[in-house]
Amino acid sequence: MADHFSVIGFKASSPEALSALVSDLLEKGGEKQPCPPGYYHRLRSQVGPELWVHMQKAAEPEPGSGPYIAVGITPFFEGEGRTPIRVRAMRQRPNDNLFEGAFYVELGPTIALIDVVDYARFAGKPVPFMAMAQIVAFPHELTVFENEAAFQTTQADKNVKITPRSFLASGLFTGGGASDIVFLDPEAEDFRAPARAFLTGEVQKTERRQNPETGQEFTWALVGTAGGTLDLVADDTMLPYSLQPGMIVEGEFWLCGRLTEMFGAN
């Protein structure tokens, strides 16, 4: 499994190397997105890769240091995917920092849990509400089929068949056999579920891109799945061959999104 940074061209040899790279990028500028605990320092490039650095107000600033300290970082990708959602709940896990959290949403005919890159900016917003989201799929497992016919061939002997555009919020379920499956209700008091999904989708557009900060190449694809379109990013370790429009992808992904429009309560 590739890490979430390498699939957008920020592969580093160690956490220290990644930290040094981020420090250099912070010196070059970026955008400040204010939020109650401080601000997000958004580092973006013209080809899509982004890093959102969590800058928290320091309780007691040390001499010679600024009033904010970096407490985390979230990778993201600015893409073309758009999916209409209905936000049912906004939740934070025990291990999330003040800048991190997830939206529990209705997505087309199903439900999903999506980590939100600028979660803290929505603190106190009443739910439910309707929105348009750009969602990035970071692969943990990925299989590619040359076309829909090749995908359907693999379904012939399966007891449970899936379509070329299917979506399951796999992070909301735990257990082995069917009788042991437990739903991790995002609206329950104890919330710990990961924002993962098992999905299939058709590649609509795809490009090889190069991260201008590192020179590393990766693949972006606009994928149509149940409920909308997602932006898939992957490095060469995840792909057996180059993606092409019409191919079918299948796998489990971490989902991270950002709202592009909000339409009010519903």
- pLDDT digits over 102-151, tens only? 999 999 889 999 999 999 999 889 999 999 999 999 999 999 999 999 99
Q: How far is CA 208 from CA 85, 217, 243, 257, in A?
A: 29, 7, 9, 21
- Which pLDDT score is estimated for 213? 94
pLDDT digits (tens, 9 = 90+) for 235-265: 999 998 899 999 999 999 999 999 999 987 6
Rounded distance between C-alpha atoms, residue 7 and residue 216, angstroms: 9
Phi-psi domain of 48 (left: phi exceeds 0; alpha: psi -120 through 50; beta: other): left
- Compute CA distances 95 → 15, 92, 174, 191, whole Å: 19, 8, 19, 10
Spatial CB neighbours of 207, under 8 Å, sequence gap ≥ 6? 219, 220, 221
Gap between the terminal Cα atoms of the chain: 38
pLDDT beyond 80 at 38? yes
Q: Could you report the per-residue pLDDT of 145-190, keeping only the tens digit for each? A: 999 999 999 988 888 889 999 999 999 998 755 567 888 898 888 8
Sequence-distant (≥ 6) Cβ neighbours of residue 29 within 8 angstroms:
none
Q: What's the mean per-residue pLDDT of the chain? A: 93
Give pTM, 2 decimals: 0.94
Q: What is the DSSP letter of 120?
A: G
Reported as a pLDDT band with limits 50, 70 and 90, residue 60 is confident
**If you average pLDDT over residues 213-220, what whole number do you get?**
96
CA distance 77 to 254: 13
H or E, element range at 25: helix 15-28
Asked whether the predicted pLDDT for residue 65 surpasses 70, the reply is no
State the pLDDT at residue 64.
58
